[in-house]
Amino acid sequence: MSKMDRLLFGDNQFFGVNHMSEEKARAQLLRFKDDAAIIEVLDSAYDAGIKTFMCTTHDRMAGICDHMRRDPVRYKDFVFYPCMPYAHKYANSVTEVGPLETIKRYSAGSVVGTLLRGAMGALTKDVYDLMKLLVDGEMKSFKGLNTPVIFVQNVVTDLLLGMKLHGVFAEFHKYVRERYGAEAGFITMNMPALLDVLQEVGIDNPIVCSNINKINFRMCGGRELYEKTIRERRFRPIAMSVFASGAIPPAEALEYVCSQPKIESIVFGASSRRNIEQTRDLVRKLDAERASALTR
């Protein structure tokens, strides 16, 4: 079982994702149009002791991964948590070149090898083979890098949940462990419902990332249910959207999340060294205060 860091660095700010402000999202997209700008912020986080980058499998990740591979001494402790699939690139590719060319474009290995390993399964709607094919394609960029946890994005997690294709969760969990020596992680907007399903398919103590914040921002079922679930269920929670896209002041947001004793990790995004260090220092302070209170 991988030990996860307390703080994980996210990538929304790099790719123009902001759930509250389109204007801010556009500004961020412009600022980070070059890989060098992203790497500068990642270096700031790394130097501040935040060594895990929880990132989508956006096409831009290929350049970031190449940079890390070129300097293995500098980045020897750098960890990626890939989150897949990045659905937009597949949708765009299908529109541009069609489904078969999309399979060729994003699969691992040769076209012939790909067909033998699962593309024909995709054509016959074999969902397990398609899942394996997509995982291998998404993981190509991360070859040779440290990827101890591999996540399913919430858009797919919650779609599988709604369609009752629960067996895919178990197959994904098994496949990433056997092929990549990694643990499976699941991102969701409905943590309580997902935990019920993961338990049903035999995934013990799963890693689950979901929105956890003080104002119920994108929390299906509400804050009280989430607090009860965190308290009573056996799983490894990661909190995301803790600031509710800027709707909650940082100190107030982090005080709430750090008060939930079983939350293992917090994922956050930032665009400057100052904000990274402020978040790090505040979480350390809150954790120390809570630990001190427990020993009294």
What phi and psi, each to the nearest 5 degrees, are found at residue 94?
-60, -40
Quick one: pLDDT at residue 113?
Answer: 46
Flag whether pLDDT at 217 surpasses 60: yes
Higher pLDDT, 244 or 109: 244
Could you report the per-residue pLDDT of 2-47, keeping only the tens digit for each?
Answer: 799 999 999 988 986 655 556 776 777 688 889 999 999 999 999 9
Place of tokens 């965190």: 230
Flag whether pLDDT at 205 surpasses 90: yes
The percentage of residues in the chain with a pLDDT greater than 70, rounded to a whole number, is 83
**Is the separation of the CB atoms in 143 and 158 below 8 Å?**
no
Flag whether pLDDT at 121 surpasses 50: no
Quick one: pLDDT at residue 287?
Answer: 97
Quick one: pLDDT at residue 106?
Answer: 56
Flag whether pLDDT at 115 surpasses 50: no
- Note if the pTM is more than 0.85: yes
Flag whether pLDDT at 125 surpasses 80: no
Flag whether pLDDT at 283 surpasses 90: yes
Name the average pLDDT for the chain: 87
Place of tokens 């001494």: 73
The percentage of residues in the chain with a pLDDT greater than 90, rounded to a whole number, is 69
Least confident of 146-150, 208-212, 229-233, 244-248: 244-248
Quick one: pLDDT at residue 246?
Answer: 86
Dihedral sign from CA coordinates of 129, 177, 237, 246: negative
DSSP code, position 227: H
Flag whether pLDDT at 61 surpasses 70: yes
Quick one: pLDDT at residue 98?
Answer: 62
**Domain covering 18-89+145-291: architecture:** Alpha-Beta Barrel (3.20)
What letter represents residue 136's amino acid? D
